[in-house]
């Protein structure tokens, strides 16, 4: 027991190395930009994006993954029957009996009820067991080593905002440092101890921007399709078979599930996702009267416009932030 416990503690400590690395890079970038470069006209916009980046990053890290409620655990009598039973068919009958009262629509590839033997719960739709976190996670997307946490229902919005603000943070650095980078490179400015920091800062920001932007684009696509990373690689199975678009309700409603239906919360890492993570409306509502009402209650036209504005604003920032910063440069010099 003692060696196993020690190994587990070591593993947990090692899992924080990627997070420590990110924090060291951000801390160094702050020193290089604010102390070494120290151009006051840039500091306001720099600190705005830095604050939003750190806020969303730490919310992603410290938001505890949401697990299934007690309603998805087997009652004591059924649990004892399930554990005593050796035949898989009979075990499935026990699970089906319990699942009748639960909002569960997905199945395994063999059309069986999805049950976690580790957590001893019937898995809600889109819920998966994470071996690293050692728990079932609601609407699990993936386990991210860079945040040392599972990305799922409780923090997926924070994760997407973290990627967005990290990209914008890198854009601001590249756009404001590039003129000094060129001057140092062409020897228009004297060599100082700040030269290394400025040159390296530009390269690091550009490298991170390219890496993060591709990941951000992928997750924005997933949001628009109402898929998780797991579902993108393995389509969820319903009673009528696998359906990769099974949870897609149209672009506006898909985005609303992650960012909420109130625009004032979209850009802030505060929880505004819709639902409870246990049940999800499927696109088969026209043959599923139990789910139809929850879809009809949403006003699709208004949300199409608002979410169109939301994504256009993000891409506008990514595209035109360098131009805005350049205008600030012209005013300040």
26-57 burial, b if ≥16 CB within 10 A, otherwise e? beebeebbbeebebeebeebbeebbebbbbbb
Out of 127, 144, 170, 174, which one is annotated catalytic? 144
Assigned token pair, 15: 């899992």
260-271 burial, b if ≥16 CB within 10 A, otherwise e? bbeeeebbebee
Whether the Cβ atoms of residue 157 and residue 273 lie closer than 8 Å to each other: yes
Active site residue 144: yes
- Report the 10 Å Cβ neighbour count for 258: 21
Whether the Cβ atoms of residue 259 and residue 171 lie closer than 8 Å to each other: no
Please state whether beta strands 149-151 and 142-144 pair in parallel, antiparallel, or not at all (unpaired).
antiparallel
Whether the Cβ atoms of residue 119 and residue 67 lie closer than 8 Å to each other: yes
Active-site residue set: 144
């Amino acid at each position: 027991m003692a060696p196993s416990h020690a190994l587990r503690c070591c593993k947990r400590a090692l899992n924080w190395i990627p997070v420590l690395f990110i924090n060291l890079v951000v801390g160094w970038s702050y020193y290089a930009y604010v102390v070494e470069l120290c151009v006051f006209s840039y500091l306001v916009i720099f600190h705005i994006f830095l604050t939003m980046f750190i806020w969303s990053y730490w919310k992603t890290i410290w938001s505890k993954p949401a697990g299934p409620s007690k309603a998805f655990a087997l009652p004591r009598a059924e649990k004892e029957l399930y554990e005593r039973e050796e035949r898989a068919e009979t075990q499935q009958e026990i699970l089906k009996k319990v699942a009748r009262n639960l909002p569960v629509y997905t199945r395994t590839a063999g059309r069986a009820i999805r049950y976690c033997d580790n957590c001893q719960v019937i898995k809600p739709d889109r819920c998966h067991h994470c071996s690293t976190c050692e728990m079932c996670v609601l609407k699990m997307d993936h386990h991210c080593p860079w945040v040392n946490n599972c990305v799922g229902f409780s923090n997926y919005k924070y994760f997407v905002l973290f990627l967005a603000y990290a990209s914008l943070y890198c854009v601001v650095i590249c756009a404001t440092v590039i003129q000094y980078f060129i001057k140092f490179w062409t020897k228009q400015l004297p060599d100082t101890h700040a030269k290394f920091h400025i040159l390296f800062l530009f390269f690091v920001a550009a490298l991170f921007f390219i890496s993060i932007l591709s990941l951000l684009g992928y997750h924005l696509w997933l949001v628009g399709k109402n898929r998780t990373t797991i579902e993108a690689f393995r389509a969820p199975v319903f009673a009528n078979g696998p359906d990769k678009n099974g949870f897609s309700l149209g672009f506006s409603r898909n985005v609303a599930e992650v960012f909420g239906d109130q625009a004032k919360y979209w850009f802030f890492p505060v929880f505004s996702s819709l639902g409870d993570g246990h049940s999800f409306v499927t696109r088969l509502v026209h043959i599923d009267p139990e789910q139809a009402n929850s879809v009809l209650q949403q006003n699709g036209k208004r949300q199409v416009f608002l979410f169109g504005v939301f994504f256009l604003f993000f891409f506008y920032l990514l595209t035109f932030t360098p131009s805005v910063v350049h205008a600030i440069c012209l005013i300040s010099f």
